[in-house]
Amino acid sequence: PTPTTYSLDSEIDGLAIVKLPGAKGGRGYFIASSLQEIVERLRALVNRGLVSDVSKVIIQEYLVGVTAYFHYFYSPVLERLEITGADIRYESDVDGLRRIPIEKLKEIGVEPTFTVVGNIPVVLRESLLPTVYSYGEKFVNKTKEVLPPGVVGPFCLEGVVDRDANIKIFEFSGRIVAGTNLYVNGSPYTYLYWDEPMSVGRRIAREIRLAVEKNRLSSVIT
């Protein structure tokens, strides 16, 4: 499941996040609660020359809940998907604004930004794991289908978990994500698979070695 995408003539339900062209690293977004507000703010941005091509603006359902980044490793050699960890992003200045009294926040009128500063470790509620695992499997299968041979090795799904423990995925990273830096000496999950310290780097090396041993090197390189 993914967030709904809106066009500029569909009414939005609840909150929407509006991503401006070139939005990157937590900048260039705003949150709005009506189509009218979006149109007004975009018009102002166009007038100030900050947005030139409104057709490149992306308007998405704003998912209310908490973010979580799920790390996976897909092993073609073992034909196995592994959950290797999870993290939360530490972001400026949104994660610091709570330190400021509400009245002061209003006075200075800061809107939160989401510049990534670091990653914080988290383990997931066990009852979420089957869903997290199945989303990873769907991702692997879909990439096999549309982009054979499909994803090999590490990837990450980025989601929001809502108050009913439903998970929606708003983004993926088809690479070693920064959050895995937390687990240079292994994560609580990799210990259950390997019983030895297992970073992503070592896991990739292990996959290659296993592939060589089984004469299946072609299954892990493209």
Query: Which own/partner contact pairs does 8-12 have at CB distance under 8 Å and 24+ positions apart?
Result: 8/35, 8/38, 8/39, 8/54, 8/57, 8/59, 9/35, 10/35, 11/35, 12/38, 12/59, 12/61
Looking up tokens 């009218």, which residue turns up? 36
Among 35, 39, 57, 122, binds a copy of itself (CB under 8 A): 122
Rounded Cα–Cα distance for residues 55 and 203 (Å)? 42
Among 48, 55, 102, 148, binds a copy of itself (CB under 8 A): 102
Q: Per CB under 8 A, does 170 bind a copy of itself?
A: no
* Minimum gap (Å) between residue 22 Cβ and a copy of itself: 16
Tell me the two tokens of residue 161: 């978990």
Among 7, 49, 55, 99, binds a copy of itself (CB under 8 A): 99
Instruction: Give 62 or 74: the residue with its C-beta nearer to a copy of itself.
Output: 62
Residue 1, burial from CB neighbour count under 10 angstroms (0-12, 13-18, 19+) = exposed
Residues binding a copy of itself: number (CB under 8 A): 68
Q: Per CB under 8 A, does 120 bind a copy of itself?
A: yes
Residue 119 in 3-state DSSP?
A: strand
Q: What is the DSSP string of 50-100?
A: S-S-GGG-EEEEPPPSEEEEEEEEEETTTTEEEEEEEEEEEEEETTTGGGS
* Minimum gap (Å) between residue 55 Cβ and a copy of itself: 25
* Minimum gap (Å) between residue 99 Cβ and a copy of itself: 6
Q: Per CB under 8 A, does 15 bind a copy of itself?
A: yes
- What residues pair up with 167 in beta bridges, in sequence order? 161
The binding track of 130-159 with respect to a copy of itself, each residue x by CB under 8 A or -, is ------------------------------
Contacting residues toward a copy of itself, per CB under 8 A: 14-15, 27, 31-33, 62, 64-68, 86, 88, 90-102, 104-108, 110-126, 128, 160-165, 178, 181-186, 188-189, 191-192, 197
